[in-house]
Amino acid sequence: MSVNMMTAHEVAKKVFNKEELFILDVRNQDAFADWKIEGENFDYLNIPYFELLDGVDEVLDKIPSKKEVLVVCAKEGSSVMVAEMLSDEGLTVSVLQGGMKAWSEHLEPVKVGDLKGGGEVYQFVRIGKGCLSYMVLSDGEAAIIDATRMIDIFIDFARSKEAKITNVFDTHLHADHISGGRKIAEQTGATYWMPSQDAQEVTFTFTALEGGQAVTIGNTAIDIHALYTPGHTIGSTSFVVDDKFLLTGDILFIDSIGRPDLAGRAEDWVGDLRESLYSRYRELSSELIVLPAHFMIIDELNEDGSVGEKLGVLFQQNHGLNIEDETEFRRLVTENLPPQPNAYHEIRETNMGIIDPEEEKQREMEIGPNRCAVR
């Protein structure tokens, strides 16, 4: 019997709208424990598909009859098999099209605000992995910040807005996901910017991002001011866009702060991280809307699915910004850190151009949650 297919986009909408969904995840238990589809009103049952090969009897009474049911696996195949068995038993269930692979790669564009000169800022929410990318649009030009490796969505989106991509930025050398910045720049002829201090080993040409620069997008006066805020990496740079938005990269998140250990230098960089968070950001307007490069938990999503909060609010509520004692701060960011992201070393090498894995390998390297933050 045929089963319904649900796209990653449809699931993302359910997350944003806080809808109910029952997820039967048939991946093996380790994979489920490590990383799953998160939704405020989602319920879960995890039974590996290989335990259901002889029949689905054991799960039938665990599946609620009143909720929409979505069967999920790594790549779709085994969830289709299980869903068909459930369907044969008379249940109506859907399958996540493309499985967790598609979920990991899905980006949902959300508008986060307008610019004074008539432009717009969009946030691209990679809901399955917690990565956030940005597009600043103004008068037929587009800038992209912290793009993921799924570059077509950015190029197509800019085209749909009739904008030419002129500048592409990375706030730092990413360790948890593969940047699409360089490839977008190659395809569109845009300028690719990255902080020179993070780029000492890179094998390609780029334009060096230094603190205090301004880049104009469009004819209207939209400036992107680079603000040097080291800590997560030595080159980590923040941008203030249009005196309204503060793009913090992986230095400051909504409910957490950046971790300084992904290049193996926690002890060296913890002081820089504190300086950036406790001195440099303090000098900025508390009205700026913080737009980070990641979110960690689904609670950080606003009503419309975007991730952002006023800097002033974060100074009051973000635990990582309220540790008076420097020793305690040092302890927080150097001890008891969460596990490092999957394949982070290879991801850094890919982003430096030192290795160039094929697409399937890149996909595998990125599997799992992002782990750039400490709370």
Partner 1 sequence: MDVTKVIDAKGLACPMPIVRTKKAMNDLESGQVLEVHATDKGAKSDLSAWAKSGGHELLKDTEENDVLKFWIKKG
- For 83, the token pair is 């869903």
Q: Of the two residues 77 and 118, which places its CB atom closer to partner 1 in the complex?
A: 77
Question: Does 204 participate in binding partner 1 (rule CB under 8 A)?
Answer: no
Question: Parallel, antiparallel, or unpaired: how do β-strands 309-310 and 289-292 relate?
Answer: antiparallel
Question: Does 84 participate in binding partner 1 (rule CB under 8 A)?
Answer: no
* CA atoms lying within 13 Å on the CB side of residue 268: 8
Q: Is 131 a known active-site residue?
A: no
Min CB(126)–partner 1 separation in Å? 22
Question: Does 31 participate in binding partner 1 (rule CB under 8 A)?
Answer: yes
Choices 25-33, 118-126, 298-306, 345-353; region in contact with partner 1 by CB under 8 A:
25-33
Give me the helix-helix angle, 326-334 and 266-275, nearest 10°.
130
Question: Does 358 participate in binding partner 1 (rule CB under 8 A)?
Answer: no
Among 10, 17, 18, 29, binds partner 1 (CB under 8 A): 29
Among 23, 39, 48, 311, binds partner 1 (CB under 8 A): 48
Min CB(97)–partner 1 separation in Å? 15
Min CB(50)–partner 1 separation in Å? 4
Contacts 24+ apart (CB under 8 A), 136-140: 136/217, 136/222, 136/224, 136/241, 137/161, 137/163, 137/217, 137/218, 138/217, 138/218, 138/219, 138/220, 138/222, 139/218, 139/219, 139/220, 140/164, 140/218, 140/219
Question: Does 75 participate in binding partner 1 (rule CB under 8 A)?
Answer: yes
Q: Of the two residues 51 and 304, which places its CB atom closer to partner 1 in the complex?
A: 51
Catalytic residue among 73, 112, 131, 270: 73
Question: Does 81 participate in binding partner 1 (rule CB under 8 A)?
Answer: yes
* Helix, strand, coil tally for the chain in percent (to 5): 30, 25, 45
Where along the sequence are the contacts to partner 1 (CB under 8 A)? 28-31, 48-51, 53, 73-75, 77-78, 81, 360, 364
Residues designated catalytic: 73
